[in-house]
Amino acid sequence: MILKKMFIDGKWVDAKNGQTRTIINPFNQEEIATVAEGDQSDAIAAIVAARQAFDQGDWPNTPVTERASIVQKIAELIERDKEELAELESLDTGKTVEESRVDMDDIAGVFRYYAEIGDKNGGEIIPSPVPNSVSKVVHEPVGVCGQITPWNYPLLQASWKLAPALVTGNTLVMKPSEITPLTTVKVFELIEEAGVPAGVANLVLGAGHSVGAELSTNVDVDLISFTGGIETGKKIMQAASVNVKKIALELGGKNPNVVFSDADFETAVDQAMNAVFFHAGQICSAGTRLIIEESIHDEFVKALVERVKNIKLGSGFDEDTQMGPLISAEHLAKVESYVETGIKEGAKLVLGGKRPEDPALQNGFFYLPTIFTDCTTNMSIVQDEAFGPIITVEKFQTEEEAIKLANDSIYGLAGGVWTNDIVKAERCVAKMRMGTVWINEFNLYFPHAPWGGFKQSGIGRELGKLGLEEYTETKHIFHNLDPKPINWFGK
């Protein structure tokens, strides 16, 4: 089995400690790759390379059109190698290969989008109150960026960070999740092929407590961007205070999906399934809190159960598979514990709640699609992010109650409203405290629109123009065209 290495200062290298990690397929626990397992020393080496490339290299001062051309080249290479990348992603995560193909199209689109808008952020002339002067605002790269990505959408989340960082002239050190690094390694091969100079983009593989911690605390890192769990995000935020780094945190959500009685019933049922069981619920924006108007509650739940119980579990490479496994044994145990808690809290388990009995699935980390009813917001299963194939159902009678329930969370990433009354829909979304709110839709995103959350779902935005601005510093330049002595203290 070929060892996948790290990429530091333009070279593919082993971990300094000689350690490796075995990557497994969550469908059957088959070993699919061996990768270098770096630690703090490797992170430091990568930071030194990135620092030197930024402070002494040409990349920050390379014309933005040239940087954009390279980012565009990366998009083209991703499209060229789409099938290889999709297969790697499905082997790594267990998701269906069709999902992974869609991801690769989206990832290429992210690089292409930032290549297109990279030169649209050049600054502006602003009015000056001083005669014979020019005042302007410019946007410059932040510097060395530490980037930490999650296991659920390894390459998609990486693209949200890589593309804007590169096009704006930063240098970077990326740490992917240690359990799903394969597509990120492949894309760094494409980054090298596209002509990104040595030291500009560095890849360190390893655990968060060593590599991630160094990126967070090292004073030579100017920005830390993290996507992952809320507790880790809090630690990174504290660690980043050492040198008051810029921070960008996307920390998940517990997302409400509100269905009014006047919604298109069949579409809402279908989308309620898609909102949760796509990628086995391992999506930060999954609509796991289904909030249904009481008058249609029973009928809606009945229809939902009938459809959900037919979801086919299996290998991501089987064309009939609709849902793959969870990512690991540890995560499976977490989801099982979550369900046990829900039962103890008094929620009614109406479907699932266990591992499948199919012998063909016993070697994988599978969990049946699960539905709880009779849920209330004082239950931990309604408040805590399960990150699994679980729907909790709440009910409401009035519009005001629906909004109160939707907002009753420490999170504020995303939410949805289903109704054919557009005025009511607009009233609702105006009051929902979330970074993205969909009307008669769920889990749709595209590169042009910003992504991020309110409250404890994070700080900052990725994607869109705001995602580009995260990787820049704003500078005001004042030029006096006719300087004269002030004589404030006399001649």
In tens, the pLDDT along 267-281 reads: 999 999 999 999 999
Inter-residue contact 87 to 100 (CB < 8 Å):
yes
What is the number of structural domains in the chain?
2
Inter-residue contact 118 to 64 (CB < 8 Å):
yes
Nearest to 24 by CA among 248, 221, 179, 209: 179
Angle at 122 between CA 447 and CA 472, to 5 degrees: 65
Cα–Cα distance list, 149 to 106, 391, 425 (Å): 17, 26, 34
Helix, coil or strand: residue 56 = coil
Specify the CATH number for the domain of residue 400. 3.40.309.10
- 63 shares its domain with 195: yes
Task: Give pTM, 2 decimals.
Answer: 0.96
State the Cα–Cα distance between residues 320 and 184, nearest whole angstrom: 27
- 9 shares its domain with 93: yes
62 found inside a domain: yes
Specify the CATH number for the domain of residue 136. 3.40.605.10
How many other C-beta atoms are found inside a 10 Å radius of the C-beta of residue 358?
Answer: 11
- 244 shares its domain with 383: no
- 295 shares its domain with 225: no
State the Cα–Cα distance between residues 445 and 270, nearest whole angstrom: 18
- 112 shares its domain with 236: yes
Between strands 370-373 and 390-396, the pairing is parallel
487 found inside a domain: no
483 found inside a domain: no
Which residue is listed with tokens 């609702």?
Answer: 428
- 52 shares its domain with 92: yes
How many other C-beta atoms are found inside a 10 Å radius of the C-beta of residue 88?
Answer: 24
- 130 shares its domain with 160: yes
Q: How far is CA 448 from the centre of its chain?
A: 15
490 found inside a domain: no
Structural domain including 156 reads: 3-251+457-477
- 147 shares its domain with 121: yes
State the Cα–Cα distance between residues 84 and 182, nearest whole angstrom: 11
Helix, coil or strand: residue 100 = helix
- 345 shares its domain with 396: yes
Q: Report residue 145 as tokens.
A: 């960026």
- 235 shares its domain with 265: no
- 209 shares its domain with 276: no
3-state helix, strand, coil in the chain (%, to 5): 40, 20, 35
Question: What are the catalytic residues?
Answer: 250
b/e sequence 143-161, b meaning 16+ C-beta within 10 Å: bbbbbbbbbbbbbbbbbbb
pLDDT of residue 1: 67
E strands in 299-387:
348-351, 370-373
34 found inside a domain: yes
133 found inside a domain: yes
Inter-residue contact 15 to 206 (CB < 8 Å):
yes
489 found inside a domain: no
The strand pairing partners of 136, in sequence order, are 125, 477
Residues of the chain with pLDDT under 50: none
397 found inside a domain: yes
In tens, the pLDDT along 150-189 reads: 999 999 999 999 999 999 999 999 999 999 999 999 999 9
- 233 shares its domain with 318: no
